[in-house]
Amino acid sequence: MGRQVESDAFINDEEIGKALAGNRRPDSGRIREVLTKAEELQGLDPAEAAVLMPISEPALLSEMFAAAKRVKNAIYGRRMVIFAPLYISSLCGNECLYCAFRAMNQEIRRRVLSQEEIAGETRTLIEQGHKRILLVAGEAYPQPEGFQYVLDAIRTIYSVKSGPGEIRRVNANIAPLTQDEFGRLKETGIGTYQLFQETYHRNTYARIHVAGKKIDYAWRVAAFDRAMAAGIDDCGIGVLFGLFNWNYEVVAMLQHVRHLEREFGVGPHTISVPRLEPAAGSSLAERPPAAVSDADFQKIVAILRLAVPYTGIILSTRETADMRRRLFTLGVSQISGGSRTNPGGYSGGGREDAGSQFSLGDHRSLDEVIYDLAKLGLIPSFCTGCYRLGRTGKDFMDLAKPGDIRRHCDSNAFSTFQEYLLDYASPRTREVGERLIAGAVNEMAAEVRERIEAMLEQVRAGKRDVYC
């Protein structure tokens, strides 16, 4: 295990500047060298990723997008992991100028869910078909419970059963913790700990985080060091694109990736790519200082897929259904479905609420999202098998980097999709889904096909939670 770092020194502005300045006008030969290396599934260093950022010529863009698609297919195949965020509290002690949850914002209704309300929200999600939840809380906790409130919430979520369903894995997006607190978080059985730096650019970070614990850049950026030192070896990183130049953010984020690989032998389990969206009470969110165009956003996803091939790329419902479709082939491997971003938003009804953290771009129900994926030939996956079989951290990376994880994940994707179709799907979704399963399984190699068909038979016979 690596040493614990309480410093932000691994984000090196001088190296970022050199990488960007040295690759402003790469020739096509150099670009193709980088693409060839990326397709070997060995990833790219920050400077190599910077070579791809200026690409604008349509033929080279097409080559980059095609390479990203091939890399994604090699690691992830057709599967698309599905989850839902569950907001349990909108209390916050920070003043982040882009966020509706900021402490002084009077334009939203604050809410802290009781454990009974958390159980109700969980039950609603289970009855939609969800198996995987991302717990989200504002960066302040109700008193006198404090951090214990989050730990109790995770245990509450795991305790809820409804019909044939339950939540099999809770991931957590909460404020940075001490190493001891991360140890307590691990004991609850979480999957991935997720935290966004928001922006790696220090001056911008200081300008938009004006009060609260979040003003400490180094404390936040070193959170994964403390988490991994405490035994949480699946972590998810991300920035909020639109706060500063996206080229800088991507190179800095790749520096963070390499730091974790050097110190712990484990890179991030996921990378999230949210774009800044309107938020109640935030003029900055209405007019992003470094807005990212749709064209550049597609480049970001493709470059990240090529640079960090083993890592899941998460796309939220901030984006529209059309944009999400365009990004599926470029590298996205995990999406939320039927999301609400306000505490109580699932059982309370309504699409958005005055207590929401930000505006959504995709308002479709989970069933509509699943139907769309199936029509596109993608296999929705509710799999949580790796977490429960110990395939996390380095063990997961050892399988994911060469693409061997597909042996397990493809099978588990089919079995959990079959569960969804039998237990929760609308008639039209079940019809297109069953047709997709039949055709896709037939395309598998004989050994894999036999294993999948055996697992599907168990599910059709009434067994649930079949995984390998």
User: Is residue 429 one of the residues assigned to a domain?
Assistant: yes
Clarify whether residues 415 and 308 are in a common domain.
no
What SS3 state is found at 8? Answer: coil
| pLDDT score, position 145 | 95
Among 341, 359, 387, the domain boundary falls at 387
What is the CB neighbour count within 10 angstroms for residue 438?
Answer: 10
User: Is residue 43 one of the residues assigned to a domain?
Assistant: no
Q: Please tell me the total count of domains within the chain.
A: 2
Could you give the residue ranges of the DSSP H alpha helices within 77-137?
115-128
Clarify whether residues 412 and 304 are in a common domain.
no
Clarify whether residues 309 and 405 are in a common domain.
no
Clarify whether residues 411 and 316 are in a common domain.
no
Dihedrals phi, psi of 161, to nearest 5 degrees: -125, 145
User: To which residue do tokens 């993608």 refer?
Assistant: 378
Clarify whether residues 424 and 303 are in a common domain.
no
CA 289 to chain centre: 24
User: Is residue 54 one of the residues assigned to a domain?
Assistant: no
Among 360, 387, 414, the domain boundary falls at 387
| pLDDT score, position 1 | 42
Structure-token pair, residue 372:
């769309």
- Residue range 265-313, pLDDT digits in tens: 999 999 999 999 888 888 998 999 999 999 999 999 999 999 999 999 9
Clarify whether residues 378 and 420 are in a common domain.
no
| pLDDT score, position 22 | 86
Write down the number of H helices and E strands in the chain: 20, 13
| pLDDT score, position 467 | 83
User: Is residue 5 one of the residues assigned to a domain?
Assistant: no
Clarify whether residues 365 and 406 are in a common domain.
no
Among 334, 366, 387, the domain boundary falls at 387
| pLDDT score, position 2 | 45
What SS3 state is found at 332? Answer: coil
Q: What percentage of the chain's residues is helix, strand, coil (to nearest 5)?
A: 45, 10, 40
User: Is residue 93 one of the residues assigned to a domain?
Assistant: yes
Alpha-carbon torsion (101, 107, 108, 110), positive or negative: positive
With a cut of 70, which residues of the chain have pLDDT below it?
1-6, 349-354, 356, 358-359, 385-408
Structure-token pair, residue 11:
């984000």
- Residue range 411-434, pLDDT digits in tens: 899 999 999 999 999 999 999 999
Clarify whether residues 360 and 434 are in a common domain.
no
Structure-token pair, residue 82:
């599905």
The whole-model pTM stands at 0.93
Clarify whether residues 284 and 150 are in a common domain.
yes
User: Is residue 39 one of the residues assigned to a domain?
Assistant: no
Clarify whether residues 286 and 345 are in a common domain.
yes
User: Is residue 36 one of the residues assigned to a domain?
Assistant: no
- Residue range 304-349, pLDDT digits in tens: 999 999 999 999 888 999 999 999 999 999 999 988 989 999 987 5
Q: Any residues with CB less than 8 A from the CB of 409 and at least 6 apart, and which?
A: 76, 77, 79, 381, 383, 385, 386
Clarify whether residues 76 and 159 are in a common domain.
yes
For every residue of 361-388, DSSP letters joined together read S----HHHHHHHHHHTT-EEE---HHHH
Q: Say which CATH number the domain at 265 has.
A: 3.20.20.70
**Which region, left, alpha or beta, applies to residue 390 given φ > 0 means left and ψ of -120 to 50 means alpha?**
left
| pLDDT score, position 5 | 53
CB 433 within 8 A of CB 421: yes
User: Is residue 88 one of the residues assigned to a domain?
Assistant: yes
| pLDDT score, position 404 | 61
Q: In whole angstroms, what is the distance from residue 39 CA to residue 45 CA?
A: 14
Clarify whether residues 163 and 309 are in a common domain.
yes
- Structural domain that includes position 151: 72-387
CB 224 within 8 A of CB 180: no
